[in-house]
Amino acid sequence: MKEAFHRFNDKLYLACLWTAGIAIVVMTIIIPWGIFSRYVLGTGSQWPEPIAILMMVLFTFLGAAVAYRAGAHIAVAMLTDRIGTANRRFLSGIVHFVMLVVAIFMLFYGTRLCIGTWGQSIGELPFIPVGLTYTPVPLGGLVTLLFVLENIFFGSQAQRGVVTYDHIASDPTAESGVL
């Protein structure tokens, strides 16, 4: 059961990592197009800005979940790395509890926000419901919740091969990142 949960979270981690990465790439392509169409073509496309904002929200919430599981989130490591070992475990427990509360808040209220705004549409893109643009919030909350529960019950997963794949060349003791 434990290993199945870890494997599921490994796949979820990779899916979130790739989705966040693709969102950044899409954003870096469409923002220059918006600038080019406005200042060079003189027409000004209406769609790049709302799509870029959606991509930013997507990579922010999924990227934050990925960073949490990898132990790379600055808010998690900044304080806990600078205190003595006696207080580190206690403070780490508080951090995980706060992250659990935040994830549940995002999941609950993010879902309510999506449902409440589903009937509205974006002015520049009337075929996209506003509620759809908010789905990264509860989705990121759900993923973060799963990663926090994994951390609380099974410890940090920052040393798993799927997380440390880029360290293999420099650390021969790291486990394989191949799924």
Q: What is the DSSP letter of 124?
A: S
Q: Is the pLDDT of residue 176 over 70?
A: no
Secondary element (H or E) of residue 74: helix 74-80
Average of per-residue pLDDT values in the chain: 87
Q: Is the pLDDT of residue 171 over 50?
A: no
Domain ranges of the chain: 2-167
Contact 50, 124 (CB under 8 A): yes
Give the confidence band of 80 by pLDDT, cuts at 50, 70, 90: low
Mean pLDDT value across residues 61-83: 80
Torsion angle, alpha carbons of 106, 111, 12, 22, to 10? -90
Q: pLDDT tens digits for 8-54? A: 999 999 999 999 999 999 999 999 998 898 888 888 788 888 999 99
Mean pLDDT value across residues 54-80: 84
Mean pLDDT value across residues 139-153: 96
CA–CA separation, 118 vs 131, rounded Å? 4
Please, how many CA atoms are within 13 Å of residue 123, restricted to the half-sphere of its CB? 3
